[in-house]
Amino acid sequence: MNLISDELEKYIENHTQPETEVLKDLNRFTKLKVLHSRMLSGHVQGQILKMLCYMIKPQYILEIGTYTGYSAICMAEALGEKGEIHTIEIDDELESIIQKYIKLSNNEDKIKCFIGDAKTIINNLNYSYDLAFIDGDKREYLEYYHLIFDKIKQGGFIIADNVLWSGKVIEELQPNDTYTKGILDFNSFVHNDNRVENVMFPIRDGLMVLRKKF
């Protein structure tokens, strides 16, 4: 589902801060060599995440779903000297790619990558986060939300990707479509959670931005 035309999308890309050479190479490599390259955050969304980090000024960021590291590198570019991103990726076959591009981007001191099941790893992270970016298994979005909520500081932010799920959120739910159901359950729950303020952006495949009130 394309929310805007290809022409407008190209116009937006052409009027957005260009990618660094490292991000451009990672973008190209992912699309050529890695399965499911649509999962890559990409140029415009990456720049949006970077801008949000400039505005929020987080010290600690938690990311669920590293993929090849594009979004983590984008956010790291906006972090202060002592800022850290803790990013979790379940696919160990991507680890060498992630580490290669983190090193190329000179963000080794800012990005710590954990390989394994996010649900287990999150429980072992004893940090308070200013920002969390959820982009893992769509079936588990709501479980991630519950796991990280108490680790988010009051006034902190949670951003969830793919909340429009290619438009399937407004279509009849198909039997056994656990991915769409996971997104629908998440969207409904957080929208009705009085502990947060929320807004959904029609950016790429949809971004839900939540602010923790208390």
**Residue 117 counted as domain residue:** yes
- H or E element, residue 197: strand 196-201
Residues in Cβ contact with 54 at an 8 Å cutoff, skipping those fewer than 6 apart: 78
What is the chain's alpha carbon radius of gyration, rounded to the nearest angstrom? 16
What are the helix (H) ranges across the chain?
A: 6-14, 21-33, 43-56, 70-76, 95-104, 118-123, 141-149, 178-191
**pTM greater than 0.85 (yes/no):** yes
- The 10s digit of each residue's pLDDT in 146-196 is 999 999 999 999 999 999 999 999 999 999 999 999 999 999 999 999 999
**Residue 30 counted as domain residue:** yes
* Domain range enclosing 25: 6-173+197-212
The CATH number of whichever domain residue 10 belongs to comes to: 3.40.50.150
- The 10s digit of each residue's pLDDT in 77-109 is 999 999 999 999 999 999 999 999 999 999 999
